[in-house]
């Protein structure tokens, strides 16, 4: 890697990191796992004057649950999310998603917070965060602020995060009947289309459904039509297939590149919606 020259600072606390961001006056960048930022610096597409390493801030990593609410610290590595017994049992869609990010090297270094804040339109996590309706906890000079995942993602590499704010953790209600299904791009392993589903079922009926989409378009989105079609339906594969059929009809600004045309991506949305729903239903357990 041959980046432009930069200073490096190791933050000792969230407040320390925020102060350093402010001092850098817009020329600072947070370094967590480095798996989005460092490749950009290598290509000189990102030229920060100072890197503020938040990787050593205590208590910024970890997965815990209390009162049905799961909390994941921003510095938690993909590998730790993928292999978390708690998540596998209580909210498998998040573990599913982490398990198919990149390759082992990426999963061992990359972090949840870094991926969400970077907001690559083909990243995997956004779909899962939309499906579990996650709250993103941001800390800035003025204190804490909570943003819903659906409001956080605003466009290509664009999120609701001020230059002196830090995404510190996410929280969400556990959803057992949940899953992620993905068509991966064969070079980068990013999602050509990724669909995350979280269902609330009972008495053989789907009470509510949340379905998040990533990769297909310029920013992640909820598949509201699918969600509406599922609500109140029997918790069966047939219902899932029927609801998935029109998935993505309203999605605009489809991505297109050598790995998949817009037409192909559009056609893949129903396929992976059905797969995610079927896998989620299989976990519903009545």
Partner 1 sequence: MTVTPVLPKLVGQRVKRREDPRLIQGRGTYVDDVKLAGMLHLAFKRSDVAHGRILSIDTSAAEALDGVEAVFTGAQMAEMAGPLPTLLPFPAPERRAVATGVVRFVGEPVAVVVARDRYVARDAVDAIEVDYEPLPVVVDPEQAMTGEPVVLHADFPHNLMLASLPMGTGVGADGLVDDTAVDQAFADAEVVISQRMINQRLAPTPIEPRGVVAHYEPGKETLTIWSSTQSPHLLRTFMASMNGMGEDQVRAIAPEVGGGFGCKSAGSAEECVTAAVSRRLGVPVKWVEERSEAFLATNHGRDLIGYVDLAARRDGTVLGLKLRIVADVGAYNMIFTAAVPTSTMTMASGNYAIPAIRATLTEVFTNKTPTDAYRGAGRPEGIYFLERAMDMLARELGMDPAELRRKNFIRPEQFPHATQTGVVYDSGDYDKALDRALENAGWEQLKAERDAARADGRLVGLGLSMYVEVCGVGPSSALPMGGWEHSQVTVERDGRISATTGASPHGQGNETTFAQMLADQFGVPLEHIRIHHGDTAVVKQGSLGTGGSRSQAVGGAALHLAGGRVKTKMAKFAALLLEAHEADLVFENGRIGVKGAPSAAKPFAEVAAYAYRPIRLPEGLEPGLSEEAFFEPANNTYPFGCNIALLEVDRDTGEPRLLRLVAVDDAGRLINPLIVEGQVHGGLAQGIGQALIEEVVYGGDGQPLTGSLMDYALPRASDFPRFELDATVTPTPLNPLGAKGIGEAGTIGSTPCVVSAAVDALSGFGVRHIDMLLRPEKLWRIIHGARD
3-state secondary structure (DSSP) of residue 160: coil
For the CB of residue 47, give the shortest distance to partner 1 in the complex, in Å.
10
Q: φ and ψ at 15, to 5 degrees?
A: -65, -40
Burial of 278: CB neighbours in 10 Å, binned 0-12, 13-18, 19+: middle
Region from 16-24, 223-231, 237-245, 266-274 binding partner 1, contact rule CB under 8 A: 266-274
**Of residues 93-122, which lie at the interface with partner 1 (CB under 8 A)?**
103
Instruction: Give the x-and-dash track for 183-222 against partner 1 (CB under 8 A).
Output: x--xxx----------------------------------
Distance from C-alpha of 253 to C-alpha of 262, rounded to nearest angstrom:
9
Q: Does 245 bind partner 1 (CB under 8 A)?
A: no
Angle between helices 237-244 and 262-282 (to 10 degrees): 160
Angle at 214 between CA 40 and CA 14, to 5 degrees: 55
Partners of residue 31 on adjacent β-strands: 53
**Beta strands 143-148; 50-53: pairing state:** unpaired
> Which of 69, 162, 228, 267 is close enough to bind partner 1 by CB under 8 A?
267
Partners of residue 172 on adjacent β-strands: 70
- Nearer to partner 1 (CB atom), residue 5 or residue 85: 5
Region from 124-132, 135-143, 167-175, 264-272 binding partner 1, contact rule CB under 8 A: 264-272
For the CB of residue 228, give the shortest distance to partner 1 in the complex, in Å.
24
Q: Does 67 bind partner 1 (CB under 8 A)?
A: no
Which residues bind to partner 1, rule: CB under 8 A?
A: 2-5, 39, 43-44, 103, 183, 186-188, 257-261, 264, 267-268, 271
């Amino acid at each position: 890697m041959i980046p432009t020259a930069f200073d490096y600072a190791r933050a000792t606390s969230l407040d320390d990191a925020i102060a350093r961001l402010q001092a850098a006056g817009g020329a600072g960048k947070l370094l967590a796992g480095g798996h989005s930022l460092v490749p950009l610096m290598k290509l000189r597409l990102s030229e920060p004057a100072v890197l503020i390493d938040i990787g050593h801030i205590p208590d910024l990593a970890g997965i815990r649950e209390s009162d049905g609410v799961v909390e994941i610290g921003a510095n938690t590595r993909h590998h730790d999310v993928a292999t978390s017994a708690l998540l596998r049992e209580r909210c498998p869609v998040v573990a599913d998603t982490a398990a198919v990010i990149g390759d082992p090297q990426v999963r061992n270094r990359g972090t949840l917070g870094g991926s969400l804040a970077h907001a690559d339109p083909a990243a995997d996590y956004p779909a899962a965060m939309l499906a579990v309706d996650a709250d993103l906890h941001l800390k800035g000079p003025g204190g804490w602020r909570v943003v819903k995942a659906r409001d956080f993602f605003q466009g290509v590499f664009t999120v609701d995060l001020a230059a002196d704010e830090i995404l510190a953790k996410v929280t969400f209600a556990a959803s057992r009947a949940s899953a992620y299904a993905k068509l991966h791009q064969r070079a980068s392993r990013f999602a050509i289309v990724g669909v995350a589903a979280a269902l609330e079922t009972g008495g053989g009926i789907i009470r509510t459904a949340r379905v998040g989409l990533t990769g297909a378009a310029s920013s992640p989105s909820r598949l509201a039509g699918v969600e509406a079609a599922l609500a109140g339906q029997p918790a069966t594969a047939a219902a899932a297939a029927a609801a998935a059929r029109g998935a993505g009809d309203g999605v605009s600004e489809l991505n297109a590149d050598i790995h998949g045309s817009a037409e192909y991506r559009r056609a893949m949305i129903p396929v992976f919606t059905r797969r995610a729903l079927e896998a989620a239903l299989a976990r519903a357990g009545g």
